[in-house]
Structure 1
């Protein structure tokens, strides 16, 4: 596999299940990640991103695979049961069997949706993820979580369905608007706080470089973040506990996204959520003020938000009580005891929650 991916490629195994290929100019290697015998592929891509999707389609077609492109919205509205049903219908019309596959080319909403469609068609067909955003490369496309949204919350309907492989072509990051690249850094920084402090050191040493697709440490940051996720999901695919650490900042962040009708970028919401989690950990006696300040400093240095002036606390709390990690009436958060030392905080006191929110909104 390493040779097939090209000399520039780094191959990161996710246990023994599949591999993540990272490199420059590797998009034409998508066929290498599909098993022999695939006759047709549903190529799911965002609207307005047809050029890059066409290059992937050409690479597949050149090996004799019939490609059926399917454009979907380039935002959270793609993760809707009506969109999934449209893709199921197309697969039915084309008589997709279990030896056929889905290929997702796009950001996190596309990889989540396409993975869910693959997981549910005939109870599971192969999917190859070709993420085109920083956030999708280091988070959404790796790990086998798939899902769609409902009116009641984000990703409440979904399944675990590991991909056949993930292909991260770093050159495509050049097409990202700067705010989207910065938003993706939230998931990179998260990986630094929960597992790999070297990520934080690289960002702190050159924040401006971290915000460039061709920055001096961009590839290392991407690969380190992917390795964090790969190691965690290989040890705990279905989130019995260890995988929950990947949700650091997400309980509050997902609530922000929902109450704001997904108008805010996911990474921005996660950055806010990490500051909230740090403030909560401070009040529960888990975390020092120094590490709370480090959260704010690192995130702010790359242009991510560290305060919040959006929805009311009561609205956010209502959404968080529907979070997947909640158990009955008990809220659960991932918090830190120190950098690289995540723990679970169950049923935090109401005073800690409101004080953390106040600190977030008044800073």
Structure 2
């Protein structure tokens, strides 16, 4: 790896036959958009929010070809913006601007912006081109890659959506300089996940390079993001619609989504996933299927980035109800992503609720 003050641009290909696309990862990539995305159409709609726009919109607009007609649609900041109301407002804007089937949607922002923009692209005029420019670490290593697009419904998160792949993903690590420490740590939780489920050597690299990554050293960022994207690209290529191996990307998410749903005002996605990952690891340790040493390494690495490793105190009935709504539940039976060792995880049907609850209870806040 190069010195920490340098980072070369990486190019990763998501292999999906005629729908394959590149992921570009590096420094100062926003001014290079026209070169990186040579097939941009004449009509472009940038979907963003005011917070992101303040930092990056002018750079993106200046980088687009002068002959393009560009409109900007602003979403409100926060998960509530992934709504039918927001979706309808974007559709109205596209129709009012007379955008045709040759237009493109450009998502400039975090996961909320990317998810909604992707669903707009999947459904406007039966599908138009879509480009991802993720500005948070969480979006860069997770939601911007793989083609999952969605909006929320009052009945649940991401219930309305489609699998729809972008034409390209441009990840400029400079965007991470404006993240709060808390938001940055939320992204690191997803980076650590990739090491646990798929790559023990990458997990060890994260342990050895905690300081550089926490300091947002460019070379460390490019390496961590690139490896995470490589793993996700491999899983997406093998299982685009999450019928098998791609489901492993949901490590910690069944527990995490329950925490998010019950404590949405206080917990963020990456924090809930971190706590959920430790619960999943503890469940396997108490079943003697994960070594105590591996459990300790998982917990300690998450703690090193100041991520929570204990769950909030919730009633057992609330946990069970929320987890039964998970999209991986089949015929009323839980299916959990569970680590058997660092570098390997399995999706398993779990019918022993008392054992699941014992793992949750052992790691709830009152047990500290």
Normalised by the shorter chain, which TM-score bucket? over 0.9
Asked if the contact 1:279–1:292 (Cα under 8 Å) also holds between the matched residues in 2, the reply is yes
Pairing of 1:227-266 with structure 2 (within 5 A): 227-261=230-264, 263-266=266-269
Aligned to 2:119: 116
Aligned match of 2:160 in 141, 157, 160? 157
> Deviation string for 1:204-262 (max 9, x for gaps)?
12323221222652221111111111111011110111100111111111121111235
Cα displacement (A) at 1:287: 1.9
In structure 2, the CA distance between the partners of 1:104 and 1:179, relative to structure 1 (3 Å rule), is: same
1: CA distance, partners of 2:315 / 2:153: 21
Q: Which runs of 5+ in 2 are unaligned?
A: 1-6
In structure 2, the CA distance between the partners of 1:315 and 1:33, relative to structure 1 (3 Å rule), is: farther
Aligned to 2:58: 54
1: CA distance, partners of 2:265 / 2:323: 15
Pairing of 1:176-187 with structure 2 (within 5 A): 176-187=179-190
1: CA distance, partners of 2:244 / 2:287: 20
2:28 matched to 1:25?
yes
Aligned match of 2:318 in 304, 315, 320? 315
2:227 matched to 1:206?
no
1: CA distance, partners of 2:35 / 2:115: 22
If the length of structure 2 is used for normalisation, what is the TM-score? 0.92
Pairing of 1:260-339 with structure 2 (within 5 A): 260-261=263-264, 263-339=266-342
Asked if the contact 2:189–2:302 (Cα under 8 Å) also holds between the matched residues in 1, the reply is yes
Asked if the contact 1:76–1:262 (Cα under 8 Å) also holds between the matched residues in 2, the reply is no
Aligned match of 1:41 in 44, 57, 73? 44
Aligned to 1:190: 193
2: CA distance, partners of 1:148 / 1:58: 30
1: CA distance, partners of 2:326 / 2:34: 37
2: CA distance, partners of 1:150 / 1:263: 21
1: CA distance, partners of 2:320 / 2:50: 34
If the length of structure 1 is used for normalisation, what is the TM-score? 0.93
Q: Which range moved further: 282-291 or 264-273?
A: 282-291
Q: Which range moved further: 271-280 or 151-160?
A: 151-160
| Corresponding residue pairs, total | 356
Aligned to 1:92: 95
2:76 matched to 1:68?
no
2: CA distance, partners of 1:150 / 1:281: 33
Aligned to 1:4: none
Q: Residue 286 of structure 1: SS of its match in structure 2?
A: coil
Cα displacement (A) at 1:310: 4.1
Aligned CA-pair RMSD:
1.8
Runs of 4+ in structure 1 over 6 Å off: none
2: CA distance, partners of 1:49 / 1:272: 28
Asked if the contact 2:275–2:311 (Cα under 8 Å) also holds between the matched residues in 1, the reply is yes
Q: Which runs of 5+ in 1 are unaligned?
A: 1-6
2: CA distance, partners of 1:306 / 1:215: 27
Q: Which range moved further: 343-352 or 185-194?
A: 343-352
Cα displacement (A) at 1:41: 1.1
Aligned to 2:12: 12
Cα displacement (A) at 1:345: 1.6
Cα displacement (A) at 1:33: 5.3
